[in-house]
Each structure stands twice: as C-alpha cells, then as structure tokens.
Structure 1
Amino acid sequence: MPADTPHLPLLPLEHLRELVRLPTMSRTEVEETDWAPFDAFIDALPRLYPALHAALEREIVGGHSLLYRWTGSGDGSPTVLMAHYDVVPATEEGWEHPPFAAELSGDGDEQLVWGRGTLDDKGSLVAALEGVEAAVLAGLTPRADLYLSFGHDEETVGTGAQAIVDLLASRGIRPELVLDEGGAVVEGIFPGVSEPIAVVGVSEKGIVTLSLRVDQDGGHASTPPKLSATARLARAIVRLNRRPFPSGFTATNVEMIETLGAHATGPLRWAFGNLWLTKPLLLRVFARLSDETAAMVRTTQAVTQLSGSQAANALAERAVATVNIRVAAGSSVAEAVEHVRRAIRDPRVAIEVPQANEPSPVSPTSGSAWELLRSTIVEIYPGTIVTPYVMLAASDSRHFTRISDHVYRFSPFRMSTQERGTLHAMNERMHVATFLRGVEFYTRLVRSLATER
C-alpha cells in the first residue's frame, strides 16, 4: 500500500469487540456447528485490516482455518504467529455480562471487556493482526516470510491446524519460530517470588481421552444386583481417584525452579538453589501448594463425563465414564493407560482410547528464537522474570512440532488467578489495558522481524 494512501485509524479494542460478538463456537459433533458466524468472521477481517489484506496472501485451509503469508525480502527461515478463533460453547446463564455482547465495564486501568474468546483466543489473534497491520502501514516488510495461522477448531480436534501443517510441510517449510497461545504474565504462583513472571510454554502435556465402560444385564431397578453396572463403574472411578500418578520434576521443571528460585527470598532461595538436596521436599510442596503446581509435576486424570441408564427405574445395561488424562513430559500414552488399568483392578471394566496424543517435544531456551521472544516480553513488561514451563493444557501448536524445533506458547497478557479461572468458564473477561499491552507486544515483535521497504 503506498505511503500516502488514506486509511482508517487502528481501533484494536473495537475490532476485538466486533469479533467477540460473533459466536464462533466449535463443537465435537461437527454437524452441530453453526458455520454462519465463522463465515462472518472470515468476511470481516479484510474490512478491519485492509492494509494487511493488501500486502499478504490468504488461503482458507481445512474448511475455515486461515493461513496468511507475508513474503519476506530474504530467503531465511520463516516465522509463524498462531491463534485460533473458535471458542467453547457458552449460554447467557450465570454470566454477569452476556458472553457474546463484548460489553465494557469499569474505568481507566480497571476497565474490562467481557466475552467468550477475549482471553481464549481472539485477544491474541486480534493483537497479532494489529501488529502486522501497523507494520504494513509503516512501510515495513519482513526479512523472511511471516505466516499467520488461525485455526477454526482448536477447542475440539484441531483439524484446521493439522491441515495447515500438512500444507506447509508439503512446501518444504520449516519455521525458525512458531508462537501460539499458552502461558501469560502472572503473579503469586511461585512461593517466595514477588515479581511478575512470564511463563513461556516450551512443551505441552500429551492428551488421552479414555473411556471406562461396563456392559451388564439390565432389568427393573426394583430388583438390583449386588453390583450394578453403574456401581461397578463408580468403584473403578473411586479406585482411580485414590491412585494419582507419581510425581517428578522434568528438566523444564528444574530450569523453571532454578530461574525463579534466583529471585526468591529467605530460606526459599536456598531451597530452590540446592535441588540436589531439597528435591524430595519440593516435590511434596508442589503437589500440595495448588492445583496448578500439582499438575506441573505429574500426569493428571479427571473424570469429566458419565452416562448410565436412560430411565430412572431401569438398571443401566451400559455405564460409561470419560477420563481426561494430561500426560506429563517424559511419560507416554502407554504408561498412562497402564496406570489406569492397574488402578481400577477390574477386568470387567473395559478401557478404550478413542483419542491420544503424546507429550510435545521440548523447545530450546537458548538461541535466536528464544532470545527474541524473551527480550520482547521484557520490553513490554519491564521487571518481569521470563521462565520456561510445560504447558498444562493443549494447543494447536503441538501439530507444528512436526515442522519446527522452536515452538513456543505464550499469550502476551497479564492474567490474574481469577481471570485465568474464567478460561472455558463463565464470565471470561480481560482488562482493556492488558489487551492493549498485548497489541504492543505483537507490534514490537513484528517490527523486530521486519525492515524498511
């Protein structure tokens, strides 16, 4: 776009609010998805970001995922900035502000924007688009190709991201840096450390969707057997819950403890700096300190769905429980399934594994890609400690480990414990000042990758 071409002023917050108002809810049963909001989302982007769409090539991949390419001036390895625009389903029940109204509340630094997707993950997507739009308008061009990869079904199965990776792989593309959602700037999560901490995911846990099933004769509920299908299943669940996976520190855990421990105060500084002696004690501390720290040091298991009889007065002929397992780095899907088998100790409880992904490879915490990410975080959030960690949830970035050794997971927003608790829950919201700080992060990151045309 010529430098003297008139353009509308950038209005990041209004852009975010417009896109949050589109209920792009992905569903496990694909046929239940309403694709109209997805189409509206795709159609809105050229109007909101005209300079970007004039300068970048856009492909629609896998039905509704988006892949943009900004051609670089050189032939170096490209960068991929990722996000997803689908959200988990929400209704208005229980919300202080409707989930798809994008309402504002408060003033000044306490102003909030409410809505499903503000944190997960339209905030990051809009911030990345704003950063590229600003760079195009400033007359910049990347030194190497820059890609934007926006998935449409990250919250379910991630077929869009997989299709994008397949496409890039077929073209022989190996990115030098891939950045997706993940960790954030947080406070109060590590004992003895008062400074804000930017946790950057260098790996993520594997996922196992496991089904426990009991098939048994049914009948009238007035003459129940000693152990019905539902009772047998309940016993298996109780046994599993009483036997958590063993805890242990991975190499990334150790690096995180050493990084943050250098900033701790009092006896904790000594404890974190002498892991060779204090590791057993610290493992117990992490396992009990909070749900988050407990999940950092072990594979986790959670029963999330139950089904039984179709009638109140009929015995279940089939009882089923879904167990969501997050596999720790250094472990495997096979180890997780075997743990469940040993824990429930009942051959009449069938174990099925309809979906499984191994833990992701660990990306390095040195080199140009890591340093660019670290230095940009510190520029935007001065005084923040940057540390690697293993991401507890899953993201589309796990698919990109097939084509890149430098895959990182970081959302450039400051999130309180309460705000993190709204992810996939009611009252998801973000401080407007935090969102604008995220826009600044991507603007600086993109500028670092670009040069004057």
Structure 2
Amino acid sequence: MPQPAVSILLLLLALLLVLAAVLLVRAARFRPDAADLAPHAGGGEPIPVDADAAAGRLSQLIRKRTVSSREPSSADRAEFRSLLDLLPDLYPAAHRALEREIVNGRTLLYRWQGAEPEAPTVLMSHFDVVPAEEEGWLHPPFSGEIADGRVWGRGAIDTKGTLVCILEAVEQLVASGFKPKRDIYLSFCDDEEIAGDGAPTHVRLLQERGIRPGLVVDEGGAVVENIFPGVRGPIAVVGVAEKGVSDFELVVRGAGGHASAPPRLGPAFRLARAIQRLERRPPKPFFPPPTLDMLDTLGRRSSFGYRILFANLWLLRPLLARLFHRLSPETRALSSTTIAVTTLQGSPAANVLPAEAKAGANVRVAVGETAAGVAARMRRAIADDAVELRIVRAGDPSPVSTTREEPYRIVAAAIRGTYPEAAVTPYVMLGGSDSRHFAAVWPYVYRFTPYELSREERETIHAANESLPIRKLGKGIEFYIRLIRSV
C-alpha cells in the first residue's frame, strides 16, 4: 500500500478512536442530576387516606350515565344534573368551604379562597364519559361494581377517578383545618370527550374576572413502566404540551355509473393510490424541544448502551429520530406528526361505480409544525390534482410549558413525594385534553394523571373493562394533598 494511503488510513483510524472515546466518556458522565434523586415533598412518607370510602363515592359517580354526545338530544341531561346534585352530599366539608358556581347550567367552577388571590392554582377534571356497550365487560360499565380490589366502570380512570381524588383531597384538608396560601380553583366540565365549550367558557370567565393562574394541572401522563428503551423502573410522564388534533378529508369525484364498464383511474382507485402515497411518504421524524428534554431526563437513567446514544444527541439525533420512527407506534408518535386514515366511503352497492370516494384522516400535528403546513406536505405526497384535500378541523399543537420554573418543580415534587421510585420527565401528550384551552392563554399548564397504570389498564380507557384499583385511587388522593399543600 502506498505511504500516503497508509497515512490517511491511520489518520481515519485515529479519528474514529477519538470519536469513540468522546462518545464513551460523555455516556459515562451522563447521569441523573442530584436534584432529581433527592427526596421531595415529605420524602415519600405515605399520607393516610381512606381509599375504601373514596372507592364507594367513585362507584356512585360511575353509576351516573354522563355519556356526552355531539347530538344534544342523545345526551341524558338528567344524569348530568343528578351527578351535580350528588356531589354536595358526598363532600359536605368541601362544599361548605368552597364557593361553587354552576356555569351555563352544566359545568362546575369552585373557588377555595386562600390567603392571597394572586397566581391561583387550577385543578381540572371532566365528568363526561364516552359510550360503553355491555358486551365484553366483566362487570357492567355503569354498575360502579367494587370487586377484586377495583372500582369498575366507564370513567373510573378517564376521569371521574381524578375528580374524586381532587375532591377527596380537598375534603380531607378542609376537615383538618388547612387553609391554602393562594386561591385554588376546581374546573370540572361535562363535554371534554366531544371537545365542547365547557373549558373555553371557564377560561373566558377567569379572564373576565382578571384571574391569571400560576399553575394548571389536568389529566395527562401517568406513572408507567417499560415504555422507554433501556430504562427499568417506574417513569412519571408529565405532559408539557399536546400535539395538535386535526381532521382532514380526501375527496375524489367521478361520473359514477355501472360497474360493468369501469373507466381507468376511477375515484376509488385514485383515492386508494393517494392513501398509499401518504403511507409511503410519512412525515419526517424529528425531536421537538420537549421530547429532547425527555430523552435527556430518561436517557440519564438508561442502561449504558442506550446512554451512549442519548448522551450524544449532538451527533446521533437524526439517526435516533429515524430509529424512534420505526421502533413502535408509540415512539413514532413521539417523533413525528402522524396521519391515520380512519374512515372510507364509496359506492353504496357492489355493482355501482362511486360518483364520489372519500376518506377521513385524523392528523396529530407535532410540536413545531402546523395543520396548514402538514396539509401542504400531504398534497405534495399525493401529487394528484384530482384528489381534493381539505381541512375539516384544524388543530395546531399547544404552547409548551416550561420545566425550568417553580410551577413545574411543584408538580414534580408532589409526584416524587407520592412515587419516590419514579423518574419524573416531561413529554408531549399524544391525545387532547381540556387544558389546551388554558395553555392558549396562560403559561404554566401541566398534564398528569396521578396513578400507576399498567399497559393493560391504559388500554381499557375508552374500551371494555375500564377499572381502577382502590390502592391506586388512594395514591392519587395523596398526590393532590401534596400538591395543594405546596401551592
């Protein structure tokens, strides 16, 4: 081999060795911050709560069939009114101490007056639920059955259980003589599942009264395990933003007619080809800032092999983003906008050509992108002027709440006090919540459901056999007691 070639080869080898050494040293130093490992909010000492009594009250709320519907005539408003009437009986001390306002005759806004009115905390939940058929349930979905150490029924997790945890915490604190340092508001709405006007009305009402919350906490992430590569043990994921939720429609029109003499490139074919092109050219993977924060937080707790990746995002970020895009549906959703074709419509009969073929697509817009930008990219991918793409509902991502100021630290401390073994991390919520209306006007909005939830339990949300263990309900009450004491 000529001398110059040998020199170049040795130089390249030396550079590779230096690069490998840099990667390994950075990974060795990539450890959790001391602040993340210190005890918080009582050092994890349990707070006595009566979880069994709380389970009985949750059971009563589940028996109220507060099923929301976009068709006003389909919702049984008597069930909603019955739930509103029941709450003062279940929580008498809280209702004596707090001001209760029924907004628009449907939703609840409570004020617990503190020593100071500035920068109040808003705790959110919703008491409407999605429909449930009895088939496939071990216990009827609106029975509120207490069996096998669990409360069964629609809303046990999403989110009548959360409502109970909040009110149980308030009831216990009021009975003990506790007075909050700042005002606390409870915002409970009846139409979250249909993206209704309950939460927007509460936001407008607070704005009109000159109230500017210093912290808002709504449903969101939970304490989970086995969701992040290389990390063992529980992880508490706190939503600091939400992906945008948009609905698109693809439409192709034609002459219709009898199926015995089909034309080439008819509406159904063009629509199918458009969907296939979207599948072949998905949105590009990338990590928005909140996801980078999550990778940093959890990467420090991962096994050494994974720490090599997460400690060196300065070099490996594009590679890791592509890996996340392929690893699983969940990691793909964390690293890109997603497009899911959910509805198809064509001819009403097998022997009739469709005069119009339509598909509906639910698009979850990643932080850093917009619905309009995604639509433009989809049109380029489809590359067919005969396919009309229109935005039925445009929903951009929410603003991102900081993790570097006191409101986030308060939430994280309450989590660590309740779940000392859990690593607390920010993340971007894949679903939507009422809190996006608060995040549009106020900066400190966080999304956390205070339970340890297994994959099986998470999969029952909006599905059969939704249920919540009584022990976990008790931990949720502990979380809110710690949170309320700290704000």
With normalisation by structure 2, the TM-score equals 0.86
* Counterpart-to-counterpart distance in 1, 2:352 and 2:51: 64
TM-superposition CA deviations, 1:379-398 (whole Å, max 9, x none): 10012110101111111000
Aligned to 2:301, the other structure's residue is in SS state coil
Question: Match for 1:66: what amino acid?
Answer: L
Aligned to 1:200, the other structure's residue is in SS state strand
Does structure 1 retain, via aligned residues, the 8 Å contact 2:199–2:437? yes
* Counterpart-to-counterpart distance in 1, 2:263 and 2:131: 39
Does structure 2 retain, via aligned residues, the 8 Å contact 1:169–1:403? no
* Counterpart-to-counterpart distance in 2, 1:199 and 1:166: 29
1:443 aligns with one of 481, 484, 487: 481
TM-superposition CA deviations, 1:253-275 (whole Å, max 9, x none): 11111111111122212221121
Does structure 2 retain, via aligned residues, the 8 Å contact 1:174–1:403? no
Residue 9 (structure 1) shift:
11
Identify the structure with the greater helix proportion.
Answer: 2
% identical aligned pairs: 51
TM-superposition CA deviations, 1:242-290 (whole Å, max 9, x none): 2211000111111111111111122212221121122233213212222
* Counterpart-to-counterpart distance in 2, 1:175 and 1:191: 36
Question: Match for 1:266: what amino acid?
Answer: F
1:357-376 mapped onto 2 (5 Å cutoff): 357-376=395-414
Does structure 2 retain, via aligned residues, the 8 Å contact 1:203–1:359? yes
1:412 and 2:454 matched = no
* Counterpart-to-counterpart distance in 2, 1:96 and 1:340: 43
Aligned to 2:446, the other structure's residue is in SS state strand
* Counterpart-to-counterpart distance in 2, 1:238 and 1:94: 34
Structure 2 partner of 1:70: 112
Q: Pick closer, same or farther for the CA change 1:194–1:68 going to 2, 3 Å.
A: same
Residue 150 (structure 1) shift:
0.9
Structure 1 partner of 2:276: 238
Structure 2 partner of 1:5: none
Unmatched 5+ residue regions in structure 1? 1-7
Structure 2 partner of 1:378: 416
Q: Pick closer, same or farther for the CA change 1:31–1:232 going to 2, 3 Å.
A: farther
* Counterpart-to-counterpart distance in 2, 1:307 and 1:48: 48
* Counterpart-to-counterpart distance in 1, 2:398 and 2:262: 46
Structure 2 partner of 1:41: 83
Q: Pick closer, same or farther for the CA change 1:75–1:113 going to 2, 3 Å.
A: closer
1:59 and 2:72 matched = no
Residue 142 (structure 1) shift:
1.6
* Counterpart-to-counterpart distance in 1, 2:403 and 2:367: 16
Structure 2 partner of 1:340: 378
* Counterpart-to-counterpart distance in 2, 1:35 and 1:219: 46
Residue 156 (structure 1) shift:
1.1
1:82-93 mapped onto 2 (5 Å cutoff): 82-93=124-135
1:32-431 mapped onto 2 (5 Å cutoff): 32-106=74-148, 111-431=149-469
Does structure 2 retain, via aligned residues, the 8 Å contact 1:151–1:158? no
TM-superposition CA deviations, 1:166-195 (whole Å, max 9, x none): 111111111000000000001111111112
* Counterpart-to-counterpart distance in 1, 2:441 and 2:127: 22
Question: Match for 1:365: what amino acid?
Answer: T
* Counterpart-to-counterpart distance in 2, 1:213 and 1:100: 40
With normalisation by structure 1, the TM-score equals 0.92
Aligned to 1:231, the other structure's residue is in SS state helix
Question: Match for 2:347: what amino acid?
Answer: S
* Counterpart-to-counterpart distance in 1, 2:319 and 2:262: 48
Does structure 1 retain, via aligned residues, the 8 Å contact 2:58–2:151? no
Question: Match for 2:358: what amino acid?
Answer: V
Q: Pick closer, same or farther for the CA change 1:312–1:114 going to 2, 3 Å.
A: farther
Q: Pick closer, same or farther for the CA change 1:278–1:163 going to 2, 3 Å.
A: same
Q: Say what the alpha-carbon RMSD is for the aligned residues.
A: 1.8
Residue 84 (structure 1) shift:
0.8
